[in-house]
Amino acid sequence: MTTPTLDFDLTIRNGRISTDSTTFFADIGVREGVIVAIAKNLPKGKRDIDATDRWVLPGGIDSHCHVEQLSGMGMMCADDFYSATVSAAFGGTTTIIPFAAQHRGNQIPEVVASYAKLAAEKAVIDYGIHLILADPTEEALTTHLPAVIREGITSFKIYMTYDRMKLDDYQILDVLEVAGREGALVMVHAENNDMIRWIAKRLVERGLTAPKYHAVAHTPLAETEATNRAVALATLMDVPLLIVHVSGLEAVRVIHSAQALGLPIHAETCPQYLFLTAEDIDLPGTEGAKFCCSPPPRDPESQEAVWQGLINGTLQMFSSDHAPYRYDTSGKLPKGEATTFKDMANGVPGIEVRLPLLFSEGVLKERMSIERFVAVTATNHARTYGLYPRKGTIAVGSDADFAIWNPEKKVTISTSMLHDNVGYTPYEGKQITGWPEVVISAGRVVVENGSLHAERGSGRFIKRGTPEPVLRQRLSGNPNSIMRKYFS
Ligand code: URP
Ligand code: ZN
Ligand code: ZN
């Protein structure tokens, strides 16, 4: 606890504060966007917020969301930086890290510069940027990647699937090597492309084209195999790796086994794997398209394994993988009623309901502690992606990013209450308890009384430092590393 010495721009009073390790009652003093005091009975600020009976948590960090981005299938997201960040803020998230997507033939510096411009013009909360890397040419590996890492883009996502995005194993080794050398983190979409392609072709030939066959084509084995292979490739290169959007029981087991061997294999999951199953996709006509993402929601056993993995630490992060596509020809139904599961945009929205869903069903239903909630929704993202301790915690010196939760508020999720531009939610009608009523970004009250109080373009680009994946310190890595022995 620190004793205040000067006036505060903002004081948050009497709140029940949680970090990833502790919960306590105190006031928080904020000056120039930064927390400058945490103590009881702080003097009044220029603005005082009474948080009696409220839970004051670090603002969420959503480190996996797709915003104003062209997908691997060539479809543009329905959310731009304005609608996505407004929606994020209303759901208690104060920092997002979406993707500047390189497609084959694109030059990384141009991709990043144009994406950064879109964000700077529209974002209402702070943001970092990851790179999606689809064309690891010699120039990209030796010049462009090191340059963007120096600019604070210290993580990049690669794909093992999608014909237009996927890297082969040799390319993945190249990328891992650069990441290891330059201190960046590789995030991998782990699904076996040929398994999916092979099954999908035969399903379509037999006329089995409804959305539910998306989950058949994206067999859990495709995820298990690719996860296993990604772990092997990272082990060979002796670098940390992050497996994104983990959905299946076997994938969780592969990750857990790697960690048990001391390998720094990190993993993330998303609301669709905790709150949906493959049954939700089985709807008449094309309606199931609203639930199709890759990997798809699985069976109840996998759903439970993902819950357990998030609770017990096998999975360190809970992100939205918000992939906003409208239920029309711009996204989910490019061929109208004739759209097959192969044609539709992959992905589900979730940037606004990510935190409320987990708060209600995880914390209030006593499946996870509030400290674990803070870890998987904020702190672990900050550490893993080089934002800590500036973001992801409540501490003197950290940015004043808060979500002030009413833990008793009853909410029925509906499209009409959300602020994205998608036009549906897979969670329509779900009743939850708890909502972040006041949201503060760098000391600015951006959401209060159900209204937005932030200007377009007021969010800041946050240059990220070297990722410190949360398992790196705990796990020792590969003792027989060929990289260490021959190539370091
Ligand atoms: O289906 C999904 N998850 N779409 C978004 C793109 C990705 O692979 O994360
Ligand atoms: Zn992905
Ligand atoms: Zn994604």
- CA-proximal residue: ligand 1, atom 2 (nearest): 347
pLDDT at 432: 98
75 pLDDT higher than 70? yes
Q: What is the CATH number of the domain that holds 356?
A: 3.20.20.140
Could you tell me the distance, in angstroms and rounded to a whole number, from the CA of residue 400 to the centre of ligand 1? 31
Could you tell me the distance, in angstroms and rounded to a whole number, from the CA of residue 453 to the centre of ligand 3? 29
474 pLDDT higher than 80? no
390 pLDDT higher than 70? yes
In a domain, 440, yes or no: no
In a domain, 287, yes or no: yes
- CA-proximal residue: ligand 1, atom 4 (nearest): 347
Average pLDDT, the chain: 96
Considering every ligand atom, which ligand is closest to the CA of 320?
A: 3
Q: What is the 3-state secondary structure (H, E, C) of 18-80?
A: ECCCCEEEEEEEEECCEEEEEECCCCCEEEEEECCCCEEEECEEEEEECCCCECCCCCECCCC
In a domain, 268, yes or no: yes
pLDDT at 472: 65
Could you tell me the distance, in angstroms and rounded to a whole number, from the CA of residue 142 to the centre of ligand 1? 28
**pLDDT tens-digit map of 18-46:** 999 999 999 999 999 999 999 999 999 99
- Residue 203 has which token pair? 């399903």
pLDDT at 473: 59
Could you tell me the distance, in angstroms and rounded to a whole number, from the CA of residue 345 to the centre of ligand 3? 12
Q: Which residues line ligand 1 (CB under 6 A)?
A: 66, 189, 245, 293-294, 321, 323, 346-347
pLDDT at 6: 56
In a domain, 42, yes or no: no
Q: Which residues span the domain enclosing 69?
A: 58-377+464-473
pLDDT at 485: 80
Atom of ligand 1 minimally distant from the CA of 66 = 5
In a domain, 249, yes or no: yes
The total number of structural domains that make up the chain: 1
Confidence label for 5 from pLDDT (cuts 50, 70 and 90) = very low
Ligand 2 ion: Cβ-proximal residues, 5 Å cutoff: 189
1 pLDDT higher than 70? no
In a domain, 277, yes or no: yes
Among 149, 172, 173, residue whose Cα is nearest residue 160: 172
Average pLDDT over residues 87-100: 99
Average pLDDT over residues 213-241: 97
Torsion of the alpha carbons at 148, 151, 157 and 162, rounded to the nearest 10? -50
pLDDT at 4: 46
**pLDDT tens-digit map of 438-456:** 999 999 999 999 999 999 9
Among 179, 19, 17, residue whose Cα is nearest residue 28: 17
Cα 441 from Cα 126, distance rounded (Å): 8
Average pLDDT over residues 151-166: 97
In a domain, 14, yes or no: no
Atom of ligand 1 minimally distant from the CA of 294 = 1
**% pLDDT > 70, the chain:** 98
